[in-house]
Amino acid sequence: MDCCNILFCCMGNICRSPSAEGVFRAMINDAGMAARVCIDSAGTHGYHVGAPPAARAQSPAARRGYDLSGLRARQVASADFARFDLIIAMDHDNLALLRCQCPSEHLHKLRLMMDFAPTAGIDIVPDPYDGGGDGFERVLDLLEQASRGLLAYVRAQCHAATDDADVGGRA
């Protein structure tokens, strides 16, 4: 059984959230945790369903070793709120949209990505879509920083879950 299921969310699921998925997937693979963590991304809007990440997001990601080419945009579904342990929004607007859709028993799962990088000096991952290429580089910088904090969080959660299972299994 997977220890932690994580959904990254932005507006259209073609820039920030697939980039977050790619960055974090690489980190959990490098940490040897791929079998214990399920990752996906989705948009709060259905603008780009079925589309690959924007080329302007894929190029800088590829230069850093993150392959986003196999990802396809999808919209957040109502089942996602039960399925995922963490649902991580890139900004306050998307977090607010998720809160409106989320059943009350799952509200505790909603977080901002930059919650995992408290020293970054910024609380959101800004949308680079209408800006220049440097915005996509900045997004990757922020996602790498926040993903390191998220990895530490997930390690602690998985360790606690393993410890609980071990304790529960003893008679």
The residues carrying an active-site annotation are 10, 16, 127
- Which residues does 34 contact at the CB level (< 8 Å), separation at least 6? 25, 28
H/E element holding 9?
A: strand 4-10
DSSP lists the bridge partners of residue 5 as: 38
- Which residues does 26 contact at the CB level (< 8 Å), separation at least 6? 65, 66
Distance (Å, whole) CA 9 – CA 126: 13
Yes or no: say if 115 and 95 are a contact pair by the CB < 8 Å rule: no
Give the DSSP letter of residue 66. -
Distance (Å, whole) CA 26 – CA 21: 9
Yes or no: say if 89 and 10 are a contact pair by the CB < 8 Å rule: yes
